């Protein structure tokens, strides 16, 4: 592997190191690994070919562009902690991944694509049961949403501008006998798993794989008044976010499962319910013995949109993340979030309240694989050592 070191001008402020680092994956296809030094001065890249001057210049120019755009004029957001249960005693200090893989509890089909075995599946079901109980207390209406999402919907809610880097496109072969015959005869994968077909074989893109669950509800409510002026819904479904070289273990998947409780109505209705769901879950997490904290956060907007949007989200406390402790790496992982979108979807999708003004929306969302992974990181794989509530569920 070849290394390329770049000095960041100016140095990256500490609070942005993680955000910038995650974007380095998308700077150039030669990059296989990216690391920013603790002081924010040095960017160390592993690249897949020998570094010549031309390559250095190309990569350096793009990296400097990312750093400048994301950091110029930025200020450290004031992180507010709403719940702190980080000191809950946990028993395990090892990464559960190797043992899960070795026991066949996880099978990695490709980066970010995992099969879950019986133990992990039951753990996911345990968490899902907790979320179903939460939804029941809100009398939430159940929904099932498609995996595909039409491009024109995502365009309407500015998704292409905010998160272009993580999109996953769906396509099919063109309706052309010769193109289909040619594909059938010659399709094969190379040693990297890449299909050898040319882009001309594929039809234009009209759909993508869904990056979130609640969007489908807003699309179903679009361009009309909301009957009764309020609603609470719940749904679970697969979500897709392409995270390139950041795809690691169960922590960061391309294909994961999100469970959501969704609020639509007036501002106070949404905010009060978001808060009620947080309080309910605080109790549930305590029963499970999870070490975590809830704090203000922002979404991983792409480079050009990042500074303004992230600052706006933090300033108005639009997002709280539930960050579970990962003892083996002395860090935390977002397992869920409590979100308030103000009237963003109401305005863009023309969903109205009885007085004609746009609805406000919010959602409480949990990543099921991350819930299981955080729990196993804290308690290990031996059921006998798990908290009683979880043991009860497993009949132990
Ligand atoms: P968000 O809408 O970004 O707050 O996502 C809601 C939850 O989905 C997060 O708190 C995570 O638990 C989960 N999630 C988001 N992205 C991923 C990913 N790439 N892999 C696994 N889980 C994810
Ligand atoms: Zn949502």
Nearest residue by C-alpha to atom 9 in ligand 1: 336
pLDDT of the residue at 198: 80
Which residue out of 111, 258, 309, 313 has the highest number of ligand 1 atoms within 8 Å of its CB and is therefore the one to mutate? 258
pLDDT of the residue at 5: 95
pLDDT of 31-72, one tens digit each?
999 999 999 999 999 999 999 999 999 999 999 999 999 998
3-state secondary structure of 170: strand
pLDDT of the residue at 77: 85
Give the rounded percent of residues in the chain with a pLDDT score beyond 70.
Answer: 100
- Does position 339 have pLDDT exceeding 90, yes or no? yes
Cα(first)–Cα(last) distance of the chain, in Å? 48
pLDDT of the residue at 362: 98
- Does position 10 have pLDDT exceeding 90, yes or no? no
Give the rounded percent of residues in the chain with a pLDDT score beyond 90.
Answer: 90
Give the residue-averaged pLDDT of 285-312: 91
Give the residue-averaged pLDDT of 205-229: 98
- Does position 74 have pLDDT exceeding 90, yes or no? no
CB 341 within 8 A of CB 55: no
- Sheet (strand 81-84) strand order: 81-84, 292-296, 319-326, 331-340, 360-367, 255-265, 231-240, 141-142
pLDDT of 155-189, one tens digit each?
999 999 999 999 999 999 999 999 999 999 999 99
What phi, psi does 179 have (nearest 5°)? Answer: -65, -40
pLDDT of the residue at 337: 98
pLDDT of the residue at 308: 86
pLDDT of the residue at 307: 86
Of the ligands numbered here, which is closest to the C-alpha atom of 145? 2
What phi, psi does 255 have (nearest 5°)? Answer: -120, 105
Which residue out of 114, 165, 235, 256 has the highest number of ligand 1 atoms within 8 Å of its CB and is therefore the one to mutate? 256
Tokens of 326: 């990962």
Tokens 């001309």 -> residue: 200
- Does position 76 have pLDDT exceeding 90, yes or no? no
**pTM to 2 decimal places:** 0.95
- How far is 50 from 153, CA to CA, in rounded Å? 42
Average pLDDT, the chain: 95
pLDDT of the residue at 122: 97
- Sheet (strand 31-36) strand order: 2-7, 42-47, 31-36
Residues with CB under 6 A from ligand 1: 212, 241, 243, 252-253, 256, 258, 299, 334-337, 365-367, 369-370
- Does position 394 have pLDDT exceeding 90, yes or no? yes
- Does position 273 have pLDDT exceeding 90, yes or no? yes
Cα(336) to centroid of ligand 2, in Å? 10
**Which stretch of 149-158, 250-259, 312-321, 346-355 has the lowest confidence by average pLDDT?**
312-321
Reported confidence tier of residue 353, pLDDT bands at 50, 70, 90: very high
Domains of the chain: 2-71 (3.30.70.60), 81-161+211-393 (3.30.930.10), 169-201 (no CATH)
Nearest residue by C-alpha to atom 10 in ligand 1: 336
Reported confidence tier of residue 315, pLDDT bands at 50, 70, 90: confident
Cα(361) to centroid of ligand 2, in Å? 9
pLDDT of 87-129, one tens digit each?
999 889 999 999 999 999 999 999 999 999 999 999 999 999 9
- Does position 144 have pLDDT exceeding 90, yes or no? yes
What phi, psi does 220 have (nearest 5°)? Answer: -70, -25
Sign of the Cα torsion 137, 138, 143, 149 reads: negative
322 CA closest ligand 1 atom index: 10
Nearest residue by C-alpha to atom 8 in ligand 1: 367
- How far is 94 from 99, CA to CA, in rounded Å? 10
Give the residue-averaged pLDDT of 150-156: 97
């Amino acid at each position: 592997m070849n290394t390329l070191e770049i000095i960041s001008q100016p140095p990256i402020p500490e609070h942005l190191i993680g955000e910038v680092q995650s974007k380095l994956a998308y700077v150039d296809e030669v990059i296989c690994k990216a690391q920013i030094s603790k002081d924010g001065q040095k960017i160390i890249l592993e690249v897949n070919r020998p570094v010549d001057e031309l390559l250095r210049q190309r990569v350096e120019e793009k990296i400097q562009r990312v750093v400048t755009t994301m950091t110029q004029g930025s200020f450290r957001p004031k992180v507010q902690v709403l719940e702190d249960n980080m000191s809950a005693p946990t028993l395990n200090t090892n990464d559960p991944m190797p043992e899960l893989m070795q026991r066949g509890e996880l099978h990695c089909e490709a980066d970010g694509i995992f099969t879950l075995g019986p133990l992990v599946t039951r753990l996911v079901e345990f968490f899902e049961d907790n979320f179903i109980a939460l939804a029941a207390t809100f009398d939430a209406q159940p929904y099932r949403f498609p995996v595909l999402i039409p491009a024109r919907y995502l365009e309407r809610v500015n998704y292409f501008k905010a998160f272009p880097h993580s999109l996953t496109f769906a396509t099919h072969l063109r309706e052309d006998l010769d193109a289909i015959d040619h594909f059938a005869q010659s399709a094969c994968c190379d040693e990297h798993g890449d299909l050898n077909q040319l882009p001309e074989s594929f039809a234009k893109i009209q759909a993508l794989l869904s990056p979130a669950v609640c969007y489908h509800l807003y699309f179903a409510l679009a361009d009309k008044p909301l009957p009764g002026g309020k609603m609470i819904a719940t749904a679970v479904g697969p979500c897709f976010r392409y995270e390139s070289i950041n795809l690691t273990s169960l922590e960061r998947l391309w294909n994961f499962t999100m469970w959501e409780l969704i609020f639509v109505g007036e501002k106070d209705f949404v905010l009060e319910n978001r808060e009620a769901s947080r309080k309910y879950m605080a109790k549930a997490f305590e029963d499970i013995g999870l070490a975590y904290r809830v704090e203000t956060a922002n979404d991983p907007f792409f480079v050009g949109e990042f500074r303004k949007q992230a600052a706006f989200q933090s300033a108005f406390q639009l997002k709280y993340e539930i960050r579970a402790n990962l003892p083996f790496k002395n860090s935390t992982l977002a397992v869920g979030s409590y979100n308030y979108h103000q009237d963003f979807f109401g305005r863009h999708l023309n969903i109205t309240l009885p007085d004609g003004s746009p609805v406000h929306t919010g959602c409480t969302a949990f990543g099921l694989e991350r819930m299981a992974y955080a729990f196993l990181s804290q308690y290990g794989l031996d059921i006998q050592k798990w908290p009683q509530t979880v043991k009860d569920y497993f009949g132990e």
